[in-house]
Every structure is written in structure tokens, then in C-alpha cells.
Amino acid sequence: MAGEKYFIKENSVLARLAAIRLKQEKMAMVLGKTIHLHNTSREEFLANSRWVSHELVHIRQFRDHGYFGFLFKYLIESIRNGYYNNKFEKEARDGEL
């Protein structure tokens, strides 16, 4: 996954909404090839290799399952198992370096 192309969007409204929903102070979330950040800078995010690795797994998941396919599967997983036990989140946690 090294060399995976991605973009970073700081001050993302979508990441802010996710942070509120998940009761997190800081948030990074992926949509397609874009990592949306809330309450953290690009520099702070990139300095955290575990966090970057986690989000890069989500970028690969989008690539492997297709944009809407991944969103649908992620939503179903979250409904069935909750956010933390979602298999896509587990895979991303396992991919943290």
C-alpha cells in the first residue's frame, strides 16, 4: 500500500459530524481517496504513523470494494456489530504500524 495516492482535507464538516457522533475530540475519516480531518492539522495527522496507517487501510478498502460498495458494506457492518466491532475497523486497527 506504500505509494497509495490520497488527499487530505483539513477542517472537514463531514469529519466534524463524525467526531460529534462518535464523541471524539479529533477525527480522521476516509471517503474514497480523501482523508477528512477535524480538529487536527495535516502535520499532526501525518506525524502519527499509526493513525496514517489506519486511514490508508480504509483507502484500500474503498479501492477493493468500490466507493458505494464499501459504504454499503461498512454501514451494514456498523448496524450489525457497532462501530468498534465493525470488521472494516478491526482490519484498519490491525493495519496500524
Asked if residues 16 and 27 have their Cβ atoms less than 8 Å apart, the reply is: yes
pLDDT in tens, 19-76: 999 999 999 999 999 999 999 999 999 999 999 999 999 999 999 999 999 999 999 9
Closest CA to 18 of 41, 43, 35, 42: 35
Q: Is the pLDDT of residue 3 over 80?
A: no
Record the pTM: 0.93
Task: Specify the pLDDT at position 4.
Answer: 72
* SS3 state of residue 20: helix
